[in-house]
A = this chain, B = another copy of it.
Amino acid sequence: MTLELTAVPNNKGVDAAVAAARRVIETLLHAGDNSAAEMSDVADRLNAVADHLEDHVPTVQQRLVDMWAGEGVTRHDPVTGPENAIAPPLHLIGQENGSIEARVTLGLAYQGPPGCVHGGVSALLLDHTLGVANHWAGDSGMTGTLTLRYHRPTPLFEELTISARQESVDGRKIRTLGTISVGGEVCVSADGLFINTHLPRPQ
């Protein structure tokens, strides 16, 4: 038995608009400073969308309350959130053996060294995945210390496997390990110490 641990995007509502925004982010990077693309017209069209949305937003405080209502998975985080265009997004699946896993292929928006994933992006994806692995195992908390080791460059445009597993719980201290690999070879490994504490939800 496996279980979806992260929000599943649907094809309508804000998720569809966010999926389109991801295409905009990636195609802007791909286009670069390309006069044939009439960038000032593109800027006007995007600003018009932002203006329209700003006319329909709640206060930030109200939005924070809504975001954190209920006990479900988050829909807004920058790693798995279908409502966050920064997120690739990762779809993390809980495995019967206690580990969790996602497969993802990253494009130009996540580039560090030429043609490779930014080391800090790998850190972002792993920090979040370790946190979700803790939820899957039962005891979760906030990151205390996170150590990343970079074994080889992580390629863009190839399917990566991101996995994590809770190793141990000792009182409030939780230790969790994870990796990003490609074709069975580990690119980045993470070793996290989490503290079993949570910030209050906005209300």
Contacts and interface: CB of A to CB of B under 8 A. Distances in A.
B39 A21 contact: no
Given A78-B121, A124-B123, A84 B29 contact: yes
Nearest to A117: B78
A148 B60 CA distance: 29
A43 B12 CA distance: 9
A114 B63 CA distance: 11
Contacts of A86: 25, 86, 109-110
Dominant secondary structure of chain A at its interface with chain B: helix
A177 to B, nearest CB: 15
A103 to B, nearest CB: 19
Given A17-B28, A118-B124, A149 B145 contact: yes
With most chain B CB atoms within 10 A of its CB, the pick from A26, A120, A142 is A120
Given A118-B128, A146-B123, A34 B20 contact: no
Copy total for this chain: 2
Size bracket, chain A contacts? 35 or more
Interface stretch (A64-72, A93-101, A166-174): A64-72
A47 interface: yes
Interface in A56-106: 56-58, 60, 63-64, 66-68, 76-79, 83-86
A24 B31 CA distance: 18
Interface string A147-188: 111100100010000000000000000000000000000000
Given A153-B199, A200-B114, A19 B31 contact: no
A144 B153 contact: no
7 contacts: A13-B33, A36-B56, A37-B53, A60-B157, A86-B86, A121-B124, A143-B150
